[in-house]
Protein backbone atom coordinates (compact mmCIF):
# COMPACT_ATOMS: atom_id res chain seq x y z
CA UNK A 1 0.00 0.00 0.00
CA UNK A 2 2.81 2.40 0.86
CA UNK A 3 4.58 1.97 -2.47
CA UNK A 4 1.35 2.59 -4.35
CA UNK A 5 0.63 5.79 -2.41
CA UNK A 6 4.18 7.03 -2.96
CA UNK A 7 4.03 6.24 -6.68
CA UNK A 8 0.71 8.04 -7.12
CA UNK A 9 1.94 10.97 -5.05
CA UNK A 10 5.08 11.22 -7.17
CA UNK A 11 3.08 11.15 -10.38
CA UNK A 12 0.60 13.79 -9.25
CA UNK A 13 3.26 16.01 -7.65
CA UNK A 14 5.48 15.88 -10.71
CA UNK A 15 2.63 16.70 -13.06
CA UNK A 16 1.43 19.53 -10.80
CA UNK A 17 4.91 21.06 -10.61
CA UNK A 18 5.29 20.95 -14.38
CA UNK A 19 1.80 22.38 -14.87
CA UNK A 20 2.48 25.28 -12.52
CA UNK A 21 5.63 26.11 -14.45
CA UNK A 22 3.80 26.02 -17.78
CA UNK A 23 0.97 28.16 -16.42
CA UNK A 24 3.46 30.77 -15.23
CA UNK A 25 5.26 30.75 -18.60
CA UNK A 26 8.62 29.38 -17.47
CA UNK A 27 11.06 27.56 -19.75
CA UNK A 28 11.94 23.90 -19.92
CA UNK A 29 14.63 23.86 -17.24
CA UNK A 30 12.52 25.70 -14.68
CA UNK A 31 9.58 23.40 -15.40
CA UNK A 32 11.89 20.42 -14.97
CA UNK A 33 13.09 21.77 -11.62
CA UNK A 34 9.51 22.42 -10.46
CA UNK A 35 8.58 18.92 -11.55
CA UNK A 36 11.37 17.51 -9.38
CA UNK A 37 10.26 19.56 -6.40
CA UNK A 38 6.69 18.38 -6.96
CA UNK A 39 7.91 14.79 -7.06
CA UNK A 40 9.64 15.14 -3.71
CA UNK A 41 6.52 16.72 -2.21
CA UNK A 42 4.43 13.91 -3.70
CA UNK A 43 6.66 11.25 -2.16
CA UNK A 44 6.31 12.88 1.25
CA UNK A 45 2.54 13.29 0.99
CA UNK A 46 2.07 9.76 -0.35
CA UNK A 47 4.13 8.39 2.52
CA UNK A 48 2.12 10.35 5.09
CA UNK A 49 -1.19 9.17 3.58
CA UNK A 50 0.01 5.56 3.58
CA UNK A 51 1.02 5.84 7.24
CA UNK A 52 -2.30 7.31 8.22
CA UNK A 53 -4.63 5.01 6.31
CA UNK A 54 -2.48 1.95 5.63
Mean pLDDT by 10 residues, the chain (54 residues): 96 97 97 98 97 90
Q: What is the pLDDT of residue 36?
A: 97
pLDDT at 54: 77
Q: What is the spatial distance between Cα 30 and Cα 46, in angstroms, rounded to a whole number? A: 24
- The whole-model pTM stands at 0.89
φ/ψ of residue 10, rounded to 5: -65, -45
Amino acid sequence: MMKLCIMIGTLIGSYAGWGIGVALGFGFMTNFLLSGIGSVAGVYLGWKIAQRYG
